[in-house]
DNA sequence: CGTTGGCCCTGATCGC
DNA sequence: TGCGATCAGGGCCAAC
């Protein structure tokens, strides 16, 4: 259940270790973790060995590690100069990043943790973590030789090599890099609410336009990314909105309040979860920190609502548990009919 | 095109 | 002790 705060903890933990690190070896224990890679595991391995990571970038729950372009790839350089530099100069956008110039990465390893994925950094002599599906051995300038283990119980997560494409708005693609380059498979994912380039107006317009419930909208990564079941319930509780309230019945003020609460909840979780990184025995764990979060609604069914004291309820919604206070978060039917 | 329901997955836990 | 049932759902895609 890693959501934005947990994935950010992973990104921040990986960043100092993988930046500038090269891949010494790759072992794939379970090919299902490469489901989103277009090609067999041999392709994944061959294209990764010897390559160097340049950063650790995150948008919403998606994480990617851009790969330094292979030196001496003349075809690619000529192609980039022809299609990128010349075109950019002709169109007069030279002030913007020319993301197609040869020094920019052209591809990245995209990591999605799914429900149960973890990225764990270990020393080379450490025993394999349980449920490790992919192991990447790194030569890191900061930490020497180390292992990056991708562990995943339910195998909803994945790793994949994907092409980097320019962002639609020309802004930095996510947190961790100033480059306006996003993996093709992540391009359709909306920016997250902590991203300075998050388009609030577009989000509010979508809420007014769509014919759907507010929780479904919060979980729709094409509208707003980074929110999962836990922080959706927590944000709705904070904003006193019922999960099934139609989005087009929310006033702009209420929608603005909700977005504020979303940001508050995510930022608070982030501040609580960002302390576990150890520089010596690097332990990046997507699941850690969850239980230290002070939750008001999620998993609190039967307990007292911290606001009004009445019991928190749990109902099935979208094949998920929805936790809410029936007193504080009421469906506003009259608004729905207007 | 917007919306929705089904599917992929397996370890941990629980009840009998 | 053993074993089957249940639960956790994010993202994607077919279908309506």
DSSP category for residue A335: H
For residue A288, what pLDDT is reported?
47
Nucleotides of B under 7 A from a protein CB: 2-12
Phi and psi of A23, rounded to 5°? -90, 120
A2 is catalytic: yes
For residue A285, what pLDDT is reported?
45
Dihedral over Cα of A203, A192, A186, A217: its sign: negative
For residue A100, what pLDDT is reported?
74
A233-249 per-position pLDDT tens digit: 999 999 999 999 999 99
* Interatomic CA distance for residues A150 and A36, integer angstroms: 15
A89 is catalytic: no
Structure tokens at A84: 């990128």
A261 is catalytic: no
**Distance from residue A156 (CA) to nucleotide C6 (C1'), in Å?**
19
For residue A73, what pLDDT is reported?
62
Instruction: Give the global pTM.
Output: 0.89
For residue A294, what pLDDT is reported?
80
For residue A332, what pLDDT is reported?
86
A320 is catalytic: yes
CB-based contacts with strand B under 7 Å? A 32, 35, 115, 130-131, 153-156, 210-213, 216, 318-319
Phi and psi of A248, rounded to 5°? -80, 5
A178-190 per-position pLDDT tens digit: 999 999 999 999 9
Say if residues A135 and A128 touch (Cβ distance below 8 Å): yes
Residue ranges in chain A whose pLDDT is less than 50? 77-95, 274-283, 285-291, 336-338
């Amino acid at each position: 259940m890693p959501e934005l705060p947990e994935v950010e903890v992973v990104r921040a933990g990986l960043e100092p270790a993988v930046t500038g690190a090269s891949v010494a070896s790759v072992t794939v224990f379970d090919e299902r973790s490469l489901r989103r890679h277009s090609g067999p595991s041999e392709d994944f391995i061959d294209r990764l060995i010897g390559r160097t990571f340049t950063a650790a970038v995150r948008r919403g729950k998606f994480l990617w590690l851009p790969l330094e372009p292979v030196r001496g790839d003349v075809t690619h350089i000529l192609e980039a100069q022809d299609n990128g530099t010349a075109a950019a100069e002709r169109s007069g956008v030279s002030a913007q990043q020319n993301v197609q110039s040869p020094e920019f990465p052209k591809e990245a390893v995209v990591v999605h943790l799914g429900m149960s994925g973890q990225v764990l950094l270990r020393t080379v002599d450490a025993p394999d973590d349980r449920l490790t599906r992919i192991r990447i051995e790194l030569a890191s300038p900061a930490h020497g030789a180390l292992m990056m283990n991708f562990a995943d119980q339910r195998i909803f997560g994945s790793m994949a090599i994907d092409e980097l494409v320019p962002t639609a708005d020309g802004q930095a693609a996510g947190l961790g890099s100033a480059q306006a380059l996003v993996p093709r498979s992540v391009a359709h994912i909306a920016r997250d609410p902590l991203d300075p380039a998050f388009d609030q107006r577009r989000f509010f317009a979508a809420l007014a336009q769509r014919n759907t419930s507010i929780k479904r909208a919060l979980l729709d990564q094409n509208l707003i990314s980074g929110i999962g079941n836990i922080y959706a319930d927590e944000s709705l509780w904070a904003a006193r909105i019922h999960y099934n309230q139609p989005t087009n019945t929310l006033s702009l003020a209420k929608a603005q309040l909700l977005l504020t609460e979303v940001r508050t909840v995510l930022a608070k979780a982030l501040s609580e979860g960002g302390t576990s990184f150890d520089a010596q025995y690097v332990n990046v764990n997507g699941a850690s920190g969850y239980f230290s979060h002070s939750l008001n609604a999620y998993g609190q069914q039967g307990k007292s609502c911290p606001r009004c004291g009445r019991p928190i309820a749990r109902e099935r919604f979208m094949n998920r548990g929805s936790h809410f206070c029936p007193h504080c978060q009421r469906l506003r039917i009259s608004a729905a009919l207007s």
